[in-house]
């Protein structure tokens, strides 16, 4: 007879639909900035929904709509439903795929270990918090909600130069940046060669 643990996968460690997340983590789960999620909360309807956003959790004590000083909470089930119906590339996806400028300038969220493991407080990354295809993403949100890990916003260049919890994940991510650098280097070298040809064509006595 199979042991029950043999059937456990990442989904077994996921938070239930009834779990609540604060706005900051809800935005992270939906792969958007807190400001973008706040925009979706504007123009609330009587049922508590924003124009195009997931419903917020009303304060249990009063049963009324959340006041300005009440923390904004979201049911995870509502966030999951919203994510399933909004599968278009996110701003994080766009930044990741925008070439070298995005690699060195756009801030993306990364899961990280709770405490530094080495001297001088260098962060140890676990993976990209925006990666909806990551099979461990739900488990990591469980760990994040329970305070076992944290998240940090970094450029891809900063993340590639950080420490990672495992070599394979670090190498797979860093290779994207190395490929961009190789492409840029090749483009610069080709431009220098073309400049030499142009100079030679206009002045046969010029030294390339």
Q: Are residues 69 and 170 in the same domain?
A: no
**Helical spans, DSSP H, in the chain:** 23-29, 34-40, 76-85, 91-96, 100-105, 137-145, 156-160, 167-202
Q: How far is CA 86 from CA 43, 75, 81, 140, in A?
A: 20, 17, 9, 21
Q: Are residues 48 and 104 in the same domain?
A: no
Domain that holds residue 97: 90-203
Residue 43 has a pLDDT of 59
Q: Are residues 73 and 117 in the same domain?
A: no
Task: Provide the domain count of the chain.
Answer: 2
pTM above 0.95, yes or no: no
Q: Are residues 113 and 52 in the same domain?
A: no
* Average pLDDT of the chain, as a whole number: 82
Residue where one domain finishes, among candidates 88, 122, 138: 88
Residue where one domain finishes, among candidates 34, 65, 88: 88
Q: Are residues 186 and 97 in the same domain?
A: yes
pLDDT band at 116 (very low <50, low <70, confident <90, very high): confident
Query: Whole-angstrom distance between the N-terminal and C-terminal Cα of the chain?
Result: 77
């Amino acid at each position: 007879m199979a042991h029950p643990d043999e059937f456990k996968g990442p989904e077994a460690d996921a938070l239930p639909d009834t779990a609540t997340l604060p706005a900051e983590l809800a935005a992270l789960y939906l792969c958007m900035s807190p400001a973008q999620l706040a925009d979706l909360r504007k123009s609330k309807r009587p049922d508590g929904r924003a124009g195009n956003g997931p419903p917020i959790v009303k304060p249990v004590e009063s049963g009324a709509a959340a006041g300005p000083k009440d923390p904004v909470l979201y049911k995870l089930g509502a966030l999951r439903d919203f994510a399933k119906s909004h599968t278009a590339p996110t701003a994080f996806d766009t930044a990741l795929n925008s070439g070298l400028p995005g690699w060195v300038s756009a801030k993306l969220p990364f899961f990280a270990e709770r405490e530094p493991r080495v001297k001088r407080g260098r962060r140890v990354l676990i993976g990209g918090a925006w990666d909806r295809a990551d099979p461990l993403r739900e488990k990591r949100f469980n760990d994040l909600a329970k305070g076992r890990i944290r998240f940090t916003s970094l450029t891809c260049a900063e993340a590639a130069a950080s420490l990672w919890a495992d070599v394979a994940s670090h190498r797979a991510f860093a290779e994207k940046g190395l490929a961009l650098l190789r492409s840029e280097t090749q483009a610069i070298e080709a431009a220098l060669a073309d400049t030499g040809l142009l100079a030679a064509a206009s002045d046969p006595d010029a030294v390339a």
